Amino acid sequence: MDNKLGKSYSLKSKISIDSLFESGKRISSYPFVVFMKECVLEEGETFKLVFSAPKKTFRFAYQRNRIKRVMRECIRLNKQPFETYLKENKKQVAFFLIYANKEELEYELLQKKAIKLFSKMIKQLDEK
């Protein structure tokens, strides 16, 4: 399978992002908080997402950029089980991923947390 996380995976529509916060499900999995919603995506992708690191916690742009870069890499490397689940069940999901920790965690720990996050998201989708 393809292990890329290109432009087609990024959620850019302000309307879609606003609807995530209004009517989406909130899932907490330390150090991430996710707002997730099932929706129909135009391009045929299984999911689209936005990465966020709070400006209030991380004052400098280089800190926020580094955290988002590491989050993007963790998601890219661990998205396969989630993507195959969505393809098998013919579902499409949009989600907003927020880094909710006060300090930056190690890369290896974030890898494990990303796997745990995807399993929580799959459980949430199964409940519907």
> How do the domains of the chain map onto residue ranges?
8-127
pLDDT at 54: 96
Residue 1 has pLDDT above 80, yes or no: no
Q: What is the mean pLDDT of the chain?
A: 93
Mean pLDDT is lowest, of 9-18, 40-49, 83-92, 116-125, for 40-49
- pLDDT tens-digit map of 26-75: 999 999 999 999 998 877 789 999 999 999 999 999 999 999 999 999 99
What topology is assigned to 8-127 in CATH? Ribosomal Protein S5; domain 2 (3.30.230)
Taking residues 78-89, what's their average pLDDT?
Answer: 94
pLDDT at 128: 64
Report percent pLDDT > 70 for the chain. 97
Residue 8 has pLDDT above 70, yes or no: yes
pTM for this predicted structure: 0.91
pLDDT at 45: 85
- DSSP-derived letter for residue 8 is G
Q: How far apart are CA 92 and CA 103, in angstroms?
A: 32
Residue 98 has pLDDT above 90, yes or no: yes
